[in-house]
Chains A and B, each alone.
With several copies, the nearest count.
Chain A
Amino acid sequence: MTITVKFFASLREQIGTNQLKLTLHTPLTMEQVWTSACPNTPLPEYLLMALNKEYVQADAIVKEGDEVAFFPPVTGG
């Protein structure tokens, strides 16, 4: 099963890509997706995460075709 993982802002620069495709063999939590996508980077302390464009917690379950996003605290307005 394939999912899309997106990174924004400083995290995009740190990871070095804005998007990658990940093939999973079993359903994972958001936190496990982070570890699969960025095996060498520990989970940042102030990380925000979204599943299919909705905020979720680290234990949310990711399924086939989902869009996952990781990003730093927001600073708009």
Chain B
Amino acid sequence: MKIAVTDQPLNPWKELANHEALLKDQAGKWGGLATFIGTMRDYNEGETIDALWLEHYPGMTENYLQRLAHTAHQRWEIVDTLILHRVGQIYPADTIVIIGVWSAHRAPAFEACRYLIEELKHRAPFWKQETCSQGCRWVTTNTPPYSAP
């Protein structure tokens, strides 16, 4: 289980490959990996976005993500979990978030992966400020709570 918040660019393929390499002992034990990779779009609500500033609450954000991962491990039969989130100044097409759930079967992998991204968006302390031609504005639309199947 790895949770990290970073201000460095995230390469999803490298991060996933590196993390899976750490699970070598358990190779053959999982049959499915579900991932979600969130990427910065260059538009939002009909407007062109030039850049995004991502703020977080150091310490609390990591704790919160850690707790989410633990909850997922209690709720579903999971081999391992990866949650990485970018902060600081980012630009269109940059990776914002990487979630990976390894499991023996695909149903828990999909469900836990979806649960993690929904709960992260609903409650993890991150805030986005968009830079567009009209200047800067804080994003205010919060994601509603998720009811897992």
On A, residues with C-beta under 8 Å from B are 6, 8-10, 48, 50, 53-55, 69, 71-77
Contact = CB atoms under 8 A, between A and B. Distances in A.
A48 B56 CA distance: 14
Contacts of A55: 123
B143 A72 contact: no
A69 B56 CA distance: 12
Contacts, number: 72
A6 B61 CA distance: 14
A75 B141 contact: yes
B60 A75 contact: no
19 contacts: A8-B55, A8-B125, A9-B138, A10-B140, A48-B125, A50-B125, A53-B63, A69-B57, A69-B60, A71-B57, A72-B138, A73-B140, A74-B123, A74-B125, A74-B126, A75-B138, A75-B142, A76-B125, A77-B121
Interface of chain B, helix or strand or loop or mixed? Answer: mixed
Query: By CB atoms of chain A within 10 A, which of B60, B122, B142 has the most?
Result: B60
A50 B85 CA distance: 21
B126 A77 contact: yes
Contact of B59 (A9, A53, A74, A75): A53
A76 B57 contact: no
Given A8-B55, A9-B138, A10-B138, A74 B60 contact: no
